[in-house]
Amino acid sequence: MRQNSGDSEQQMQVHLDSLTKPKGSLGKLETYCVRMAKIQNRVPPVIRKKGLYVFAGDHGITAQGVSLYPPEVTYQMVINMLSGGAAANALAGGCGWELAVVDAGVAGDFPPDEELKPKHRFLRMKIGPGSGDFSRQPAMSRGELERALEAGKSIAGDAETQGYDLVAAGDMGIGNTATAAALLTGAGFTAEAMVDRGTGIDEATLERKRATIKQAVEFHNTPKSGEALLEKLGSYDMAMMAGFILGLSGRGIACVLDGFPVTAAAYMARMIAPGVSDYLFAGHSSKVRGHKPVLDAMGLDPVVSLDMHLGEGTGALIGGHVIELGVIAANEMASFAGAGVSGSSGDEEAY
């Protein structure tokens, strides 16, 4: 049922209260349904198709030794993901999501599709072969930033064309936890709170990563705008992700965020257009120390907290699955009247 006025939240709560369960007993699943109803302007909301977009790109900051893994893993993991072998493939399959891999800025040329034979859609949108090492130069030019944001917005259009009611953003890029920490430190969080072990660096490397990020943020002394931060301290994949989130505005599509890198990109998008918060969900809270404080600052309550720290959209898929279960309940449950079940004697919720 489509709503004509801004009453979809209230109508959704009335619908939930009419179902054969104690009032409010589906807890946060009800909150998710109410938010979905508002985003779709539809009571009850529907989730017909779901799409995960994994944004891949290389990060010049890896030259400073901030990751445990070599940068070529980004390219290799894109091939692995297109062949179906990554964690994102397993979880997307398990939760019924379609997956598309986006080459936003991987260093290295991929073979043509005839040779690659990708099992998933591969969106070739490379802005450049890896972003600049932001400890000594801007991550990208203003022109590249604009192209990355535009490409991301066009992917939001793709999501609508594909018929997705729910999308998720995932990341694949060695060094991206350093980039995320730099963006958020530049935005005003402390490096101490934002820099963590990523793929599992040791104490000495963590110390170097923290010092590198502090120095880079001071070096650029960037104005606190989403665009300026992405240009100086970001990366092609982060900028494209931010563009994707911005481009979802007004399309009635909800977006589930993944872990620390994706949330950093979303934070940049929110600095550019605060209204993006209206259609964002936090799929999970990752083990990276900075993730939860940033979600708190964005007013987002993570659906699950499973100590995951993988990326690729894996946490978003699990959180998105929980949201979907709420929507399924709202669509499939009988009402008190329909099932001939007696309603409550009062109006109050017990909890």
Ligand X SMILES: O=C(O)c1cccnc1
Interface positions with ligand X (CB under 6 A): 177, 198-199, 258-261, 286, 288, 291, 309-311
Q: Give the residue with the Cβ less far from ligand RBZ, 226 or 261.
A: 261
> Among 344, 126, 336, which residue's Cα sits nearest to residue 240?
126
Contact pattern from residue 288 through residue 317 relative to ligand RBZ, giving x for each residue in contact according to CB under 6 A and a dash for the rest: ----------------------xxx-----
Taking the least distance from each CB to ligand X, the nearer of 130 and 259 is 259
Rounded distance, CA 296 to CA 275, Å?
Answer: 16
291 contact, one of ligand RBZ, ligand X, none, CB 5-8 Å limit per kind:
ligand X
Mark 33-72 with x for binding to ligand RBZ (rule: CB under 6 A) and - for no binding: ----------------------------------xxx---
77 contact, one of ligand X, ligand RBZ, none, CB 5-8 Å limit per kind: ligand RBZ
Residue 312 known to be catalytic: yes
Say which entry of ligand RBZ, ligand X, none residue 283 contacts (CB below 5 to 8 A, set by partner kind). none
- The site for ligand RBZ, by CB under 6 A, has a size of 18
Residues 9, 312, 332, 348: which is the catalytic one? 312
Considering only 176, 222, 263, 285, the residue that binds ligand RBZ (CB under 6 A) is 176
Output 128 or 175, the one with its CB closest to ligand RBZ: 175
Least separation, in Å, of the C-beta of 302 and ligand X?
11
**Residues contributing to the site for ligand RBZ (CB under 6 A):** 67-69, 73, 77, 171-178, 198-199, 310-312
